[in-house]
């Protein structure tokens, strides 16, 4: 999709979830992925996910192509940062790496409107329709929550800047942590079209 002048540079949440279905092996890898969740991710991104694996710390990862080791480590680092700040706030629910599934989809752009490296996915505008982020029925997002149970979100493929992956993982994960630990703060921060930005948890 062609980018226009003003493009969203951060994060989007789908206010809903997929139905919970029986978990089955998705590939010959050891990872097990909810098939309904895979279908949802493919519907949102338009990608065909054919690889399922896990990070060293147990996060389920589903992708079009086999993720590089640097990508898997960056995902773990993002969750580690998220769990640490969540624990400091007294949150206890959903602080396990194994609880999460991260989809890695094809980037619809690799640079933002200022020319900076910014792999993002184009998704339906949803609650951002008519806002400054609306690119004509879609917005660009670094990541997007797919489901609250099971816990899942999608990020864009990166070829470098692994710290950005860690940041996106932490920020998308914030919505999931808040949904299960602090519903009031979740409701206040879920929709960025009303203002606010990441990090939510300091």
> What pLDDT score does 188 carry?
84
Q: Which residues, given as ranges, of the chain have pLDDT below 70?
A: 1-32, 124-140, 192-197, 199
> What pLDDT score does 175 carry?
93
| Per-chain mean pLDDT for the chain | 79
75 φ/ψ angles, rounded to the nearest 5 degrees = -65, -45
Q: Give pTM, 2 decimals.
A: 0.79
By CB atoms closer than 10 A (0-12, 13-18, 19+), residue 112 is middle
Maximum Cα–Cα distance across the chain: 44
What are the residues facing 2 on neighbouring strands?
A: none
């Amino acid at each position: 999709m062609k980018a226009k002048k003003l493009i969203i540079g951060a994060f989007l949440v789908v206010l809903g979830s997929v139905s919970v279905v029986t978990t089955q092996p998705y590939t010959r890898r050891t990872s097990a992925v909810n098939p309904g969740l895979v279908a949802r991710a493919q519907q949102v991104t338009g990608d065909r996910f054919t690889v399922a694996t896990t990070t060293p710390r147990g996060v389920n990862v589903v992708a079009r192509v086999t993720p590089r080791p640097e990508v898997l480590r960056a995902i773990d680092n993002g969750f580690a940062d998220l769990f640490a700040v969540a624990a400091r706030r007294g949150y206890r629910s959903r602080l396990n790496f194994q609880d999460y599934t991260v989809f890695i989809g094809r980037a619809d752009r690799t640079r933002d409107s200022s020319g900076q490296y910014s792999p993002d996915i184009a998704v339906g505008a949803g609650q951002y329709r008519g806002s400054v982020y609306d690119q004509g029925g879609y917005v660009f997002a670094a990541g997007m929550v797919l489901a609250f149970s099971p816990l899942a979100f999608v990020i864009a493929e990166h070829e470098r800047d692994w710290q950005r992956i860690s940041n996106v993982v932490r920020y998308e994960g914030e919505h999931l942590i808040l949904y299960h630990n602090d519903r009031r703060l979740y409701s206040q921060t879920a929709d960025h079209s009303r203002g606010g930005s990441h990090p939510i948890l300091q």
